[in-house]
Amino acid sequence: MRRLLAGMAAAVLLAGCTSGSDAVDVNSGGEFRFVEATPSGEVIPPDERASAPEFSGTLLGGGEFSSAELSGDVAVLNFWGSWCPPCRVETPQFQEVYADVRDDGVQFLGLNVKETDEQFALNFVDRFGIEFPSLHDPRGEVALAFRDYPANAIPSTIVLDREDRVAAVYTGEISQDDLRRVLDLVLGEA
């Protein structure tokens, strides 16, 4: 029995955050699949940055949010799910960074995706003491808005500069040190 349980646990760990054949239907009638993340990151030079798409939605626990609220600040968008093992490692580190930079013109926004029961997401936020807001996006509509970037890999992190342009994109778990470095870089831009 222990071997069976160990084998099943290993299979779950090897699967990462891939969703396999589970697709998220979107309003356009198409499918949007979440795929296993490839740990990589890219900082985009300022003269090559594109504007981030506008988006809005409902926050976990209620209330509306619009991406216009991020305007003028550096923003960290983190696509996560309570079902994602790397998110459990990364999210508490994000909270630590957020606590250090929230008064420096940096906003954090979580985007909870593919979570059919909002209570799982709320429990996750409570468990890790997350103070920054998260949108509840069970259908992945915001991730779809970022289709030019790999936001369909969970976890993914997108950093926006003060001009609402995509400054950095990370797929997979991002270390606290890497996140701090890119924030220092973007905050230091004129």
- Residues 15 and 95: their CA atoms lie apart, in Å, by 26
- What is the structure's pLDDT at 65? 96
| % of residues, the chain, pLDDT over 70 | 77
- What is the structure's pLDDT at 185? 94
Is the pLDDT at 32 greater than 80? The verdict is no
User: Can you tell me the mean pLDDT for 30-54?
Assistant: 70
Confidence of residue 40 (pLDDT cuts 50, 70, 90): low
- What is the structure's pLDDT at 130? 96
Q: What is the pLDDT of residues 57-77, one digit of tens each?
A: 999 999 999 999 999 999 999
What does pLDDT average to over the chain? 80
- What is the structure's pLDDT at 146? 83
Is the pLDDT at 14 greater than 70? The verdict is no
Is the pLDDT at 37 greater than 50? The verdict is no
Lowest average pLDDT, out of 26-35, 43-52, 59-68, 134-143, goes to 26-35
Domains held by the chain: number: 1
Is the pLDDT at 1 greater than 70? The verdict is no
Q: The domain containing residue 120 runs over which residues?
A: 2-187
CATH number for the domain harbouring residue 85: 3.40.30.10
Confidence of residue 152 (pLDDT cuts 50, 70, 90): low
